[in-house]
DNA sequence: TGATGTGTTCTGCT
DNA sequence: AAGCAGAACACATC
């Protein structure tokens, strides 16, 4: 499940491989309407408009990938749960779940062509093309909360204090904070010793300061380790991440707590799974 | 054969 | 208005 560190790993991989290259053609597999359709352009425009566009920049906002192209266009990508990119110089056989394949020509000095595959067996992932001026509103960037790695601890505390809801659903809400998913919320709350169902406004400043610290520490450590591969996640080079070996709570139900030895439990919080230690994380 | 999990959006309720 | 629950999406994995 790509969350902030996984998406960051992907954009770094894309920068290494496709930045400054030109899109020669697009191959669309299966019925692509829901995957590439946008309010701005019809399906047939997707192929036509991407042709001969150069890739100028690749950025991340929350879990959103933004690929800036020539002619004032931005390709917005959301991996959702199982979407991933795979880059290769040699044309690979088309996988059943390769939904979009970009044929790229080398940047100056490089004469070999290459291919970028967008693969998603669950087909939740989305790729959409927007004119620059529509991006903010149409791609939902307007609604996103602050970046977890950029928010100041004082702003983070203020946000938590003014929200009357359980901390776990708050952290998962992309308009509250943009980039955390189930793995990093569970891990952050575990290290900060905060119960996932604790009302966010009722958590002490000291604990929130600690939570802010662990969110940033874990995200940075996960980025350094190329993300977490628990399902199908892998980088643009096909390599899985290494952060799963650091996980202490997520998918650790039944195992002894790293801090106190009590059994890690798994419950439902707001219809999502939550893993925590009932002794270290009290309500 | 059926339940589960996963991110996000939507609808409808309090 | 704010927050919550549940459904929907799609499908590999158990």
Q: Which tens digit of pLDDT belongs to each residue from A79-93?
A: 888 888 999 887 777
pLDDT, position A116: 92
**CA–CA separation, A201 vs A166, rounded Å?**
9
**CA–CA separation, A275 vs A72, rounded Å?**
44
Tokens 């900060």: give the residue.
A192
pLDDT digits (tens, 9 = 90+) for A206-256: 999 999 999 999 999 999 998 887 766 778 887 888 888 899 998 888 899
pLDDT, position A261: 93
10-residue mean pLDDT profile of chain A (283 residues): values are: 90 93 86 59 76 94 93 90 86 81 78 86 84 84 91 94 90 91 92 92 95 95 86 76 88 91 88 89 90
Residues with CB under 7 A from strand C: A 34, 81, 97, 121-124, 163-166, 169-170, 270-271
Nearest nucleotide from residue A170 CA, by C1' atom: C3
Which candidate, A218, A232, A225, places its Cα nearest to that of A81? Answer: A232
**CA–CA separation, A24 vs A194, rounded Å?**
51
Whole-number Å distance, CA A272 to C1' B5? 9
Nearest nucleotide from residue A123 CA, by C1' atom: C10
pLDDT, position A122: 81
Do residues A97 and A119 touch, judged by C-beta distance below 8 A? yes
Strand partners, A28: A100
Does the annotation mark A52 as catalytic? no
Tokens 């906002």: give the residue.
A61
**3-state secondary structure at position A189:** helix
Does the annotation mark A272 as catalytic? yes
Tokens at residue A161, please? Answer: 């204090």
pLDDT, position A110: 62
Report which residue is nearest nucleotide C8 when distances run from CA to C1'.
Answer: A124
Do residues A247 and A228 touch, judged by C-beta distance below 8 A? yes
Which strands sit side by side in the sheet containing A22-28, from one edge to the other? A22-28, A98-105, A114-119, A84-88
Does the annotation mark A63 as catalytic? yes
Which candidate, A5, A73, A65, A77, places its Cα nearest to that of A36? Answer: A77
Residues with CB under 7 A from strand B: A 1, 3, 62-63, 78, 80-81, 122, 124, 140, 143, 172, 174, 181-183, 230-231, 251, 266, 272-273
Euclidean distance between the first and the last CA atom of chain A, given in angstroms as a whole number = 28
Catalytic-labelled residue, pool A60, A63, A126, A168: A63
Chain centroid, CA A32 distance in Å: 22
């Amino acid at each position: 499940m790509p969350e902030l560190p996984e998406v960051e790993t992907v954009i770094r991989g894309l920068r290494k491989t496709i930045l400054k290259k030109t899109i020669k053609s697009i191959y669309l597999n299966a019925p692509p309407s829901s995957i590439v359709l946008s309010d701005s352009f019809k399906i047939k425009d997707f192929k036509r408009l991407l042709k001969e566009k150069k890739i100028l920049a690749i950025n991340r906002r929350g879990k959103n990938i933004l690929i800036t192209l020539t002619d004032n266009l931005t390709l917005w990508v959301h991996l959702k749960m199982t979407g991933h990119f795979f880059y290769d110089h040699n044309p690979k056989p088309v996988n059943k779940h390769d939904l979009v394949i970009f044929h790229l020509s080398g940047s100056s000095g490089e004469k070999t062509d290459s291919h970028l595959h967008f693969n998603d067996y669950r087909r939740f992932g989305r790729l959409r093309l927007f004119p620059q001026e529509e991006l903010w509103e149409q791609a939902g960037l307007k609604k996103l909360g602050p970046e977890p790695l950029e928010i100041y601890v004082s702003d983070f505390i203020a946000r938590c204090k003014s929200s009357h809801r359980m901390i776990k659903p708050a952290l998962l809400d992309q308009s509250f904070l943009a980039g955390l998913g189930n793995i990093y919320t569970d891990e952050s709350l575990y290290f900060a010793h905060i119960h996932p169902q604790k009302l966010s406004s009722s958590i002490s400043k000291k604990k929130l300061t600690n939570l802010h610290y662990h969110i940033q520490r874990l995200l940075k450590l996960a980025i350094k380790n190329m993300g977490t591969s628990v399902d199908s996640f892998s980088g643009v080079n096909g390599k899985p991440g290494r952060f799963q070996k650091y996980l202490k709570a997520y998918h650790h139900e039944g195992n002894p707590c790293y801090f106190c030895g009590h059994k890690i439990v798994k419950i439902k919080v707001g219809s999502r799974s939550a893993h925590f230690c009932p002794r270290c994380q009290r309500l």
